[in-house]
Amino acid sequence: MEITSAMVKELRNKTGAGMMDCKEALLAGEGDFEKAIDYLRKKGMSAATKRSSKAAKEGVVSSYIHMGGKIGVLVELNCETDFVAKTADFQTLARDIAMQVAASNPLYVRPEEIPPSALEREKDIYRSQLAEEKKPEKIWDKIIEGKLKKFYEEVCLMNQKFIKNTDITIETLINNMIAKTGEKVVLRRFVRFQLGEELK
């Protein structure tokens, strides 16, 4: 089957992966987009897994100021070498993530950072709602699981849909960078300031 440049472009828009990777994925999936997306995800994941034991001590602290100085964000994105940290792609990724934080106001980087007490409080709210709605108790766990997934998408930066391409998450965006650079890339932390917000 012939893989056209339009097909490659469409897959790139959907996944954020590089042109050559998209072409390779479409060839592997024989033109099937779902198979090509799975191929790219596996490639990104396997590259990410392979690099996970490496140390990521280089990187950048990137900033983004929004609404004429009303919202400001700092993000620390790490990689293994200074060479990768200085590339335009890496710098753009860090800035895009800072912009994401400004727009979507996450509370944590990843679900593991949510304090158990906050998670339990969330589950209690869901249980009360389900009891109120008179849903059978045997399906509560399944419903709560779905609600938690949505909760993570709201409050965890890695689980959020990327504002510039809602077909992918921030985690996929970072995995694509890992696949592209061959280096471990870690989103370490962020801080978001909003003018006039209450100090905790």
pLDDT in tens, the chain (200 residues): 788 888 888 887 776 677 788 888 888 988 888 888 888 777 765 555 555 556 678 999 999 998 788 999 999 999 999 999 999 999 999 999 999 999 999 999 999 999 999 999 999 999 999 888 888 888 888 999 999 999 999 999 999 999 999 999 999 999 999 888 888 899 999 999 998 877 65
pLDDT of residue 49: 57
Count of CB atoms situated within 10 Å of the CB of 30: 10
pLDDT of residue 116: 93
Output helix, strand, coil percentages for the chain, rounded to the nearest 5: 60, 20, 25
**What is the 8-class DSSP label of residue 198?**
P
Q: Are 64 and 45 in contact (CB under 8 A)?
A: no
